[in-house]
């Protein structure tokens, strides 16, 4: 049994309570108010709602390039580097990125994995010795669902994904698709596929938002990557007003998969409260694919992050939720409990 004391950001509201979280056999046994001298801040571990960690073999290779030249299939810098990579090097690079994620408080990621069955298996191998739950959105034909946890489509303008969507429906697995990143032309076709998760939606307009709300389709946004690729800002406030919004870091070649950086960027750039941003970085991504993570409550898995509230950076914090979202960094991480 383990007890984590301090300021606990508990439940779906992340309301700070002074007390402790009691953990036994990998699950949260109790969340209790109690007198404590601990200055720690206990919160759910992050859920990174959209990653491409395969391109960890090509960090900074796309600097200054357009979206198409950087990451668009099949001939972008990313895809050429991935195709040329030795499998052992690819697995090693992905594993090191997963280790970085774990050390910085992320214990789950929803990863779009390129190169079909082989690509999905490579990510499985990379994640095996790491305490990060890598949810694999596979690519290629429907056979990838023998290995993957769901299907991740590049975009409705890139091909016909009707068969893959049907295969997901048959197996009860989620279907996710990029939409509205370069422009709005692929959003309605993506929605026609009845996806379980949309990625980006930078160029979403009123009619798109109405369809998203009608179908309750969650959206994963990646504002730092959008800024690097100069495709515009996602309408985060409007999306939040219509559906569940989760936060992702996108391509490892463009940005480190740090949820601290992503939260701080989102909180300072967009009209969203600190609690909304923290939910985007935790529970929202988990709920999008049915992961039982992202909330501190009895009976939940003990996927937790402990920050040193008395670090040189966080000491004197008046609002712990705002501090986590806007101020905290990897240097403030005290423990990650998987």
Q: Does one domain contain both 272 and 128? A: yes
Q: What is the pLDDT of residues 207-236, one digit of tens each?
A: 999 999 999 999 999 999 999 999 999 999
Domain region containing 146: 46-289
Residues 25 and 150 occupy one common structural domain: no
CA-CA distance, 27 to 186, in Å (whole number)? 42
d(CA 37, CA 29): 21
Regarding whether 316 and 272 lie in a shared domain, the answer is no
Same domain, 154 and 256: yes
Q: Are residues 189 and 102 in the same domain?
A: yes
Q: Do 279 and 318 reside in the same domain of the chain?
A: no
Query: Contact 198/174 with Cβ under 8 angstroms?
Result: no
Where does the pLDDT of residue 1 fall: very low under 50, low under 70, confident under 90, or very high at 90 and above? confident
Residues of the chain with pLDDT > 90: what percent? 91
Query: Domain check: are 227 and 191 in the same one?
Result: yes
Report the pLDDT value the prediction gives residue 61, as an integer from 0 to 100: 80
What's the order of all strands across the beta sheet hosting 250-251?
Answer: 245-247, 219-221, 197-200, 175-179, 150-153, 133-138, 106-112, 46-52, 250-251
100 and 169, same domain (yes or no): yes
78 pLDDT higher than 90: no
Whole-number Å distance between alpha carbons of 44 and 9: 8
Same domain? For 171 and 300 the reply is no
Residues 37, 103, single domain; the answer is: no
Q: Is 38 helix (H, G, I), strand (E, B) or coil?
A: coil
Helix (H) or strand (E) holding 268: helix 259-269
Q: In the chain, how many domains are there? A: 2
Query: pLDDT digits over 160-172, tens only?
Result: 999 999 999 999 9
Domain boundary among 274, 289, 304: 289
- Within a 13 Å sphere around the CA of 185, how many CA atoms are in the beta-carbon half? 4
Domain CATH code at residue 330:
2.30.40.10
Q: Does residue 30 sit in the same domain as residue 171? A: no
Q: Token digits for 275? A: 């609690």
pTM of the predicted model over 0.85? yes
- Mean pLDDT (whole number) for 275-298: 97
> CATH number for the domain including 275?
3.20.20.140
Residues in the chain: 338
pLDDT greater than 90 at residue 275: yes
pLDDT in tens, 175-215: 999 999 999 999 999 999 999 999 999 999 999 999 999 99
Residues 188 and 304 in one domain: no
């Amino acid at each position: 049994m383990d007890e984590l004391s301090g300021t606990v950001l508990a439940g779906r509201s992340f309301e700070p309570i002074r007390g402790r979280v009691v953990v036994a056999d990998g699950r949260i046994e109790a969340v209790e108010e109690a007198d404590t001298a601990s200055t720690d801040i206990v919160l759910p571990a992050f859920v990174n709602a959209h990653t491409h960690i395969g391109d960890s073999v090509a960090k900074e290779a796309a600097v200054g390039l357009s979206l198409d030249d950087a990451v668009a299939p099949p001939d972008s810098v990313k895809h050429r580097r991935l195709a040329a990579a030795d499998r052992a090097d690819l697995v090693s690079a992905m594993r090191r990125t997963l280790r970085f994620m774990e050390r910085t408080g992320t214990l789950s990621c929803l990863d779009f994995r390129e190169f079909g069955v082989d690509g999905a298996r490579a990510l499985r191998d990379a994640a095996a010795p790491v305490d990060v739950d890598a949810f694999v959105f596979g690519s290629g034909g429907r056979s990838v669902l023998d290995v993957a946890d769901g299907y991740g489509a590049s975009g409705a303008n890139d091909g016909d994904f009707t068969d893959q969507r049907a295969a997901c429906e048959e197996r009860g697995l989620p279907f996710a698709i990029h939409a509205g990143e370069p422009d709005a032309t692929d959003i309605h076709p993506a929605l026609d596929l009845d996806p379980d998760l949309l990625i980006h939606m930078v160029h979403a307009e009123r009619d798109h938002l109405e369809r998203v709300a009608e179908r309750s389709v969650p959206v994963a946004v990646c504002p730092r990557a959008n800024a690097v690729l100069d495709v515009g800002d996602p309408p985060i406030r409007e999306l939040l007003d219509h559906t569940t919004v989760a936060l992702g870091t996108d391509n490892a070649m463009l940005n480190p998969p740090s949820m601290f950086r992503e939260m701080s960027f989102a909180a300072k750039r967009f009209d969203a409260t600190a609690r909304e941003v923290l939910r985007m970085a935790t529970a929202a991504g988990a709920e999008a694919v049915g992961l039982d993570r992202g909330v501190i409550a009895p009976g939940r898995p003990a996927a937790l992050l402990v920050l040193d509230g008395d670090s040189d950076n966080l000491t004197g914090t008046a609002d712990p939720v705002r501090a986590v979202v806007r101020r905290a960094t990897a240097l403030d991480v005290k423990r990650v409990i998987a």
